[in-house]
Every structure is written in structure tokens, then in C-alpha cells.
Amino acid sequence: MKKLLMRRKARDNIYYHPDFHSALNIAIDYLEKNHGKSAVKEYLQQFASSYYNPLTESIKKQGLSALKKYLKDLYKKENGDIDIVYSKDAMTVLIKRCPAILHIKKKGGQPAKSFSETTKTVYETILKGTEYEFKMLNYDKKTGRALLTFRKKNDFMH
């Protein structure tokens, strides 16, 4: 009898990690309740500076176009919904449907009080050491709908 062998690699699978969002939400809730909001920010800074280092390096070399490509690919993979207004020196992103919040709620959970830091702190950290700054202009804690702005540092009015 002939034996059939199937070989698969991780890259052969569709990218999808919704339970990561639930686990991250639980971790953020735990950290905030037991160690305060500063612990949440510190954790997210450590994670983002390590995990997103390749993206940070791409932004240093290619500018905001690297971040635009990353965001478009990410939200497409996760079935999110965003609008991007892009120029070489500035980019505005409207997150209309947040896959993380949708998944957390679908599983019966509620977003942690500091869940917005997964956007705010992470993007601030990704841009650290680049010529760009990030501001979260609006964030709806119930839906994750958000308005984000990325600009060259000297373009923000302080």
C-alpha cells in the first residue's frame, strides 16, 4: 500500500491569531489590576521594541510607506477595516473595525481598561528612534474605532 505524506510549514497556513488578542487582553487586565497602568505600558514597550524592531528599521529606511504597507497587510489578514490617508511626511489612519475588540467581545470578554495602550504605546514604541511621531486623536473603548496620526516630528504642532 502506498503511503501518502503531507508536508506543511507555518508559512503555508493562513495568518490568523485571534486568540492572541484575548490572551493579551487578559494579561493587560492582570497587570493593571495588580501592578498599575505603568506596568501595562512597560510590558507593551518591551514587547513592541523587540517584536516590531524589523518594522522600526524599515520605517527608518523607507519612511511611512513601510508602516502603511504593514497596516494594510495586517488589517486585511485580520479582517479589519481601515482607511488610510497617506503622504510622504504624514499618514492618518481611521480604524473602523478593530479585529481585536471584535474577537474579545465575541468570546464573551470585555476589553481591559488599558487596552487602548495596545495601540498608543505600541505605535509610540515602534516609532521610537525614527523621525516620526504618533498621536492617537480618538479612541472608542467599546469598539476600538480610532483615529491615528503619524507625522514627521517637526510637523506636529505642540
Q: CA 97: distance to chain centroid?
A: 13
CB burial of residue 99 (10 Å; 0-12, 13-18, 19+): buried
Nearest-CA neighbor of 112 among 17, 50, 43, 15?
Answer: 43
Residue 14 CB burial class (10 angstroms; 0-12, 13-18, ≥19): exposed
Residue-wise pLDDT tens digits, 52-65: 999 999 999 999 99
CB atoms within 10 A of CB 154: 9
Question: What's the grid cell of residue 79?
Answer: 479582517
d(CA 63, CA 15): 25
* Per-residue DSSP letter, 3: P
What pLDDT, in 10s, does the model give residues 6-47? 787 766 666 567 788 999 999 999 999 999 999 999 999 999
User: Which of 9-13, 33-37, 142-146, 148-152 comes out lowest in average pLDDT?
Assistant: 9-13
pLDDT digits over 81-104, tens only? 999 999 999 999 999 999 999 999
Query: What was the pLDDT predicted at 100?
Result: 93
| Separation between Cα atoms, residue 84 and residue 104, nearest integer Å | 25
